[in-house]
Structure 1
Amino acid sequence: MKLFPIVAATVFSLSASAALAQEAAATGADATLAGPGLTMGKAATMPLKYVNIQDSDLVVSKLIGVDLYNKNDETIGEISDVVIGGGKSVIGVVASVGGFLGVGESYVVLDPASIALAEEDGAWKAYVDTTKDDLTKAPKLDYSKLKK
Structure 2
Amino acid sequence: MKTLLAAAALSCFAAGSAFAADTTGGGMMMADHATATIRYVTVAPADIMSSKLVGQDVYNNQGDKIGNVADLVIDNGKTVTGVVLSVGGFLGMGEHYVLIDPASMVLSDKNGLHGVVDTNKDTLKNAPAFNYKKS
TM-score, normalised with respect to structure 1 = 0.71
Is the Cα–Cα contact under 8 Å of residues 29 and 76 in structure 2 kept in the other structure? no
* SS at structure 1 position matched to 2:109: strand
Q: Does 1:7 align with 2:1?
A: no
Gap runs ≥5 in structure 2: none
* SS at structure 2 position matched to 1:54: coil
Alignment partners' CA distance in 2, 1:35 and 1:8: 20
Q: Does 1:35 align with 2:29?
A: yes
**Alignment correspondent of 2:76:** 86
Alignment partners' CA distance in 2, 1:87 and 1:35: 6
Q: Of residues 55, 76, 79 in structure 1, which corresponds to 2:66?
A: 76
Seq. identity, %: 40
* SS at structure 1 position matched to 2:90: coil
Q: Which residue identity lines up with residue 129 of structure 2 in the other structure?
A: K
**Paired positions, count:** 127
Q: Which residue identity lines up with residue 36 of structure 1 in the other structure?
A: M
Is the Cα–Cα contact under 8 Å of residues 7 and 90 in structure 1 kept in the other structure? no
Q: Which residue identity lines up with residue 134 of structure 1 in the other structure?
A: T
**Alignment correspondent of 1:61:** 51
Gap runs ≥5 in structure 1: 27-31
Shift, 1:49, TM fit: 5.3
Classify 1:58/1:33 alpha carbon distance in 2 versus 1 (closer, same or farther; 3 Å): closer
**Alignment correspondent of 2:117:** 128
* 1:39-50 equivalent positions in 2, closer than 5 A: 40=35, 50=40
Is the Cα–Cα contact under 8 Å of residues 68 and 77 in structure 1 kept in the other structure? yes
Larger Rg computed on CA atoms: 1
